[in-house]
Amino acid sequence: MEFSSRHRCRRISSGGGIEGLRLLRSGTKEERLQYAFLFGPSGSGKTCEAFQEMIGASLEHPEKRFFVLVPEQHGVLMQKKLLELHPRHASGNIEVVSFNRLAFRVFAERNMRHLNVMDDSGKAMVLRRVASERRKELTVWGERMRQAGFTEQVKSLLSECMQYGIHPDDLLHLEGKPVHLPLRQKLGDLSVLYRGFLEYCQGKGLPKEALLELFAAQIRESALLRGAVFLFDGFTGFTPLQYRVIEELMQTAESLRFTVTIGAGVNPYRTVPEESLFYMSVELVKRIVDLGSACGASHGEDRMMRDIRRFSKDGALAFLEAHFLRYDGARRSVRAADAREIRLLCPANPMEEAKQTAENILALVKGEAYRWREIAVISADFENCADLLGDEFRRQGIPFHIDRSLSVAYNPLPELLRAALGCVSEYFSGRSFLRFLKCGLVTEDREMLARCNSYMTLCGVRGFQKLSSDWIFVPQALAGTDMEALNGFKNQALQLLLPLREAFEGNRASVGAVAECLLLLMKACHAEEKLQHLKEDFEQKKDAEHAREFSDVHAETVRILTEMQDLIGEEAVSREDMMGILDAGLREIRVGQIPAFADQVMIGDLMRSRLGDVRALFLLGANDGILPLKKKEGGILNDREKELLRVNGLVLAPTAREDLCTQRFYLYRVVTQPSDRLLLSFPRLGRDGRAQRPSGIINHLLYLFPGLEECLPGRSGQAYYSRIQAERDLISDFRALRADGNPEVLPRDTKALLLRYCDDRAHREKAEQLIDAAFFCYQPEQLTPGTARALYGETISGSVTRLETFFRCPCSHFYRYGLKLSELKAFEFERRDMGSLVHRAIELVFLRAGNRRMDLARLEDGERMRFVDSCVDEAISRDESGLYGDSARNIWLTEKLRRVVQKSVGIMTYRLRQGDYRPAAAEFSFSAEQASALSVPLSGGGSLKLQGKADRVDLCEEGDRLYVKIIDYKTGSTSWEPYRLLSGSQIQLIVYLDAVSEILEKTRPEVSVIPGAVFYAEIDDPFLRREEAKTEQDAFLKALKELKPSGLVNAEPDALRHLAKDPERAGDFLPLSFQKSGLKVGEQAVFAPRFAKLRDYVRKKVKRAGAEILGGAAAASPLLEGGRDVCAFCPYRAVCGFDLRSGGYHYRKNIRRSAAKVWAEMDEQSGEEGEE
């Protein structure tokens, strides 16, 4: 039976002309089928014409079956169109189906209802299992199969092989052919996996790619298809298996009709170059004709629909359809109406592109009475722009649907399963257990979760034994914690994981048992109910996409686990392999999105999406490299290798070149889709901020339409179609005003817009917020004196470090000492732990030496090293937390620090031998009760009481003089810089000198206490160049210079003689410089009166700081000195709000200057204060 038609088609000659009306091979009674084509350009109405003919035939022959075969993603649209065209608005004996749906209809008819069809998730899990079993057979992919994402690439390649009819043996039959070794190895591994996959699937499941092969084998036996009439619509080509199905239908059906998109002047029977726009259509026709000839089918009447129904005949869109990508030299001067039909938009970046698109859509709907469903947005960079468009449309109140299937691999439910199995795989590491607790479905008690996190971080809890034991020890940071409740919380979560742990008791477990444990875990966590609540929350927020995700994810996850039990349930696997199998399955879960309602804007992809009847279409991302999209390099097989396979008869998915040609054809279909308007957008900058060029398509349009102008974004104008548009223009105006530096005067346009915006009372509060934000200027924060005293107390107590913190930034001091905020210390060997261990070890060295009256300077090297080793051992043994021996890394670090201590003590004893000083105290503690320098009465009441601990105090007594040397150990690089005394950020050594001197004056009144030196002593084992340290002695002398202390030395000859018996060699181990005239006084050396002035200056500085703290100083005013930005490593940077881009914020700068200028500035300040 033929479709009824009003006229017969003209046969196109090989030369491209029209020969005349002629019927191609009218069928005879012996011929079983007629096939024919309905040709026409995009917009010619091929689908409507074919549907109307089929509807007429179906009404004439109600006893026959009629099938419309369409691509899977096109089914709903075609069903809707069919119902609209049918006079009864019912499908009757016409069915709109895809290849797969038709296959299942035949399987049902043939009583093959219980086929276990394996989808992508099942294939991924089986493939991962096969790869694990046959890893030794794999030449190059053995280890790569464990990498995240590689299994998915292999799975896709296997799918291509099945779709294109390639069998495992075909991959190996390339002997003697020009195939290089790497490709041969890849094909060998692919063949191993492919054969293993097929063998494993026998009797267990049918890969969905094999569905059409099975379907083709059943077609001739199907009564459903025998004598049926078929229409193939919406296809640009077919896979080999689909051609196989068509071939079988030619042996069974009554007639087949194909709609083919092709230019009005193109001969579909004439071979065209591969780069031709309609190459795919010509190739489709050729393959069908060849199949028809092979099957003995009759080629019926073709029709060419030349008239374009979608556009007005003289419009710009009609001209575009006739000449787009034809490069035929045709041009059309832009008319007034053309600028309305085709517009070129040039936004600044993708965010501006989304904003501009939303505003244009609102203008069409609210200004020109468009319906939402009459507008479509196609993005060339769909993956990166879909969410950006969705967020913008949601803000602007535009109903939309994104045409994509969502991956739920990182939904809370898959994350629950991964985290649970991760606990077992990682043997209950602390990180894995916390990941399990934080997945979102285990607990809703956020406070207890935070406490559990803090406890495990502070105490280094890891491993099942520590997790299952009761936690008794309470860290200081968690004082007051209810340990019974915390243990109950932890045990309840741990109980959920016990079945999984027991399943892997023998290091291997059956996949089915693990899947059952995961199903029970989901039930125990009430996952389905919790996901339902989350779904309802998204529905209330009108977020249909995420609501659908949370609605379907539970059922999909259960399906994956059930499929796992059915396919590989009896297999015993290791923890690692089980993790890979589960992850491979979960990554393949996709949730299809169904439009919540009909009237909404479609956001689609250039290649995948199928659009209905739209009046306006926005084509976004029309930039070079994006439209058309360059295929990414890489993958398992590159394009060169695919070309080699094609030469040898193995055809796989298209190469990058073929894909480019395909994209050009799809682009033609897209730009000819709208009936009224086409808007193309090409941002000037990409997402990364780099400049982008327009696509060659834009240049092509500018050639076709001379005078077509690019539209740059600007103000929304007088018509605002959403509140957000008005807000954005207000913000833009406010920013411009602020940049001009004259925010007091509002321009007339801005004032008018503000008044219009505030007409609605609901917007007034928002307007006030916008104004406050636009003209925000930070005002330094100041606590009231009452609040400060309530926070700190009448007496400020603490160390000198506290005051230095205040001098660096009052806000940081407020957070740390006022609000008591502190970072959570992880149970890790950090830099501060290294410093603590070194300090403790060196303290023990000098304490024990003092208790034994041992002169370290006179000990032999070997004896000294044994003594230092014993002190380091004792320091390590005092670690109650077990941190130093917690891991091999920590043990290695402690041994490294042992070498550092040995080196440092050796250098210290050398310095002692060179002078007359001897250690008098190690870790010398002092407080306000011992020294008036540390007890400071403050103006307005209150006091400041400091305490401190000097790492070492050395003394040298000569007659009635007692020289004092203060040493502070530093494991980092810290140098003495006099200019930092002015800012107060380096007053520690002077305060210590002042306090120790006062205490000695009280305890030793018979002597005169004289400052000898104050030093920062770096503790390290420096790296040396081989040529600089040829001998051990050379290495020691070089290290001695590298670790030269930094500080201030009394330059008086008697004082200097006690530091270095040989002054000329003092520069080798002390921070001194010598000139021809003698010692250079200045940066590192001063005379005794300067020490007295420094002590007096620092006392006043300390008193001033105390007064400011009790006065309420808490401004975010950080210090910037010597290139050091105190904000760089400040733990409170995220909360203080300091931002130089906002008005009012600034650094307090302390410029580096010479010691002479520092002393002069101090003297000047002291003189001014004395006058006051």
Q: How many CA atoms lie within 13 A of 675 on its CB side?
A: 14
Provide the pLDDT for residue 1078.
63
Q: Which of 204, 237, 255 is the last residue of a domain?
A: 204
Mean pLDDT of 805-820: 93
CATH code of the domain containing 398:
3.40.50.300
Q: Which of 592, 624, 657 is the last residue of a domain?
A: 592
Q: Which amino acid is at 792?
A: Y
Residue 618: Cβ-neighbour burial (10 angstroms; 0-12, 13-18, 19+): buried
557-566, 774-783, 792-801, 969-978: range with lowest mean pLDDT: 774-783
Inter-residue contact 1012 to 1127 (CB < 8 Å): no
Name the domain count of the chain.
5
pLDDT of residue 176 exceeding 60, the answer is no
Instruction: Please indicate, yes or no, whether residues 111 and 243 belong to a single structural domain of this protein.
Output: yes
Contacts of 663 (CB under 8 A, 6+ apart): 606, 607, 628, 629
Inter-residue contact 682 to 622 (CB < 8 Å): yes
Provide the pLDDT for residue 446.
92
CA distance 352 to 732: 13
Instruction: Please indicate, yes or no, whether residues 586 and 461 belong to a single structural domain of this protein.
Output: yes
CA angle, 548 as apex, 547 and 552 as ends, to 5°?
A: 120
Mean pLDDT of 101-124: 85
Instruction: Please indicate, yes or no, whether residues 16 and 143 belong to a single structural domain of this protein.
Output: no
Asked, for residue 1003, whether it belongs to a domain, the answer is no
Provide the pLDDT for residue 20.
29
Q: What is the residue range of 611's domain?
A: 316-404+596-711
- At residue 988 the predicted structure's pLDDT band, cuts being 50, 70 and 90, is very high
Q: Which of 277, 286, 294, 239 is nearest to 258 (CA)?
A: 286
Q: How many CA atoms lie within 13 A of 812 on its CB side?
A: 22
pLDDT of residue 1083 exceeding 80, the answer is no
pLDDT digits 0-9 by tens, 604-646: 998 888 888 899 999 999 999 888 887 665 568 887 888 888 8
Asked, for residue 685, whether it belongs to a domain, the answer is yes
Inter-residue contact 399 to 597 (CB < 8 Å): yes
- At residue 335 the predicted structure's pLDDT band, cuts being 50, 70 and 90, is confident
Instruction: Please indicate, yes or no, whether residues 523 and 419 belong to a single structural domain of this protein.
Output: yes
Provide the pLDDT for residue 822.
84
Instruction: Please indicate, yes or no, whether residues 620 and 677 belong to a single structural domain of this protein.
Output: yes
Instruction: Please indicate, yes or no, whether residues 585 and 604 belong to a single structural domain of this protein.
Output: no
Question: Do you find a cis peptide bond into 414, omega within 30 degrees of 0?
Answer: no
Mean pLDDT of 1045-1059: 89
Provide the pLDDT for residue 469.
92
Handedness of CA 778, 784, 790, 796 (dihedral sign): positive
Asked, for residue 1093, whether it belongs to a domain, the answer is no
Q: At what angle do helices 988-1003 and 1088-1110 cross, to 10 degrees?
A: 110
Asked, for residue 699, whether it belongs to a domain, the answer is yes
Inter-residue contact 676 to 615 (CB < 8 Å): yes
Provide the pLDDT for residue 500.
94
pLDDT of residue 97 exceeding 80, the answer is yes
Instruction: Please indicate, yes or no, whether residues 627 and 700 belong to a single structural domain of this protein.
Output: yes
Output the average pLDDT for the chain.
85
How does DSSP assign 85-114, residue by residue?
HSTTSS-TTEEEE-HHHHHHHHHHHTT-TT
Instruction: Please indicate, yes or no, whether residues 508 and 487 belong to a single structural domain of this protein.
Output: yes
Instruction: Please indicate, yes or no, whether residues 560 and 529 belong to a single structural domain of this protein.
Output: yes
Asked, for residue 1157, whether it belongs to a domain, the answer is no
Provide the pLDDT for residue 434.
94
**What tokens appear for 1098 in the block?**
């620092």
How does DSSP assign 914-940, residue by residue?
HSS-EEEEEEEEE-TTT-GGGEEE-TT
Mean pLDDT of 458-479: 88
Sheet with 1124-1125, side-by-side order of all strands: 1124-1125, 1119-1121, 1148-1150
Instruction: Please indicate, yes or no, whether residues 219 and 275 belong to a single structural domain of this protein.
Output: yes
**What tokens appear for 938 in the block?**
């403050």
pLDDT of residue 488 exceeding 80, the answer is yes
- At residue 3 the predicted structure's pLDDT band, cuts being 50, 70 and 90, is very low
Mean pLDDT of 971-981: 87
Q: Which of 272, 304, 336 is the last residue of a domain?
A: 304
60-69, 98-107, 590-599: range with lowest mean pLDDT: 590-599
Asked, for residue 278, whether it belongs to a domain, the answer is yes
**What tokens appear for 1099 in the block?**
């006392």
Highest mean pLDDT among 628-642, 660-674, 892-906: 660-674
The phi and psi torsions of 925 (rounded to 5 degrees) equal -95, 145
Integer angstrom CA distances of residue 103 from 591, 618, 791, 969, 1000: 23, 37, 77, 81, 100
Provide the pLDDT for residue 132.
83
Q: Which amino acid is at 82?
A: L
Mean pLDDT of 661-690: 92
Asked, for residue 739, whether it belongs to a domain, the answer is yes
Provide the pLDDT for residue 1081.
60
pLDDT digits 0-9 by tens, 391-436: 999 999 999 999 888 888 779 999 999 999 999 999 999 999 999 9
Start-end of H helices in 8-98: 46-60, 75-85
- At residue 153 the predicted structure's pLDDT band, cuts being 50, 70 and 90, is confident
Q: Which residue has the tokens 């890891």?
A: 462
CA distance 715 to 31: 68
Asked, for residue 837, whether it belongs to a domain, the answer is no
pLDDT of residue 818 exceeding 80, the answer is yes
Provide the pLDDT for residue 649.
77
Instruction: Please indicate, yes or no, whether residues 234 and 300 belong to a single structural domain of this protein.
Output: yes
Instruction: Please indicate, yes or no, whether residues 514 and 654 belong to a single structural domain of this protein.
Output: no
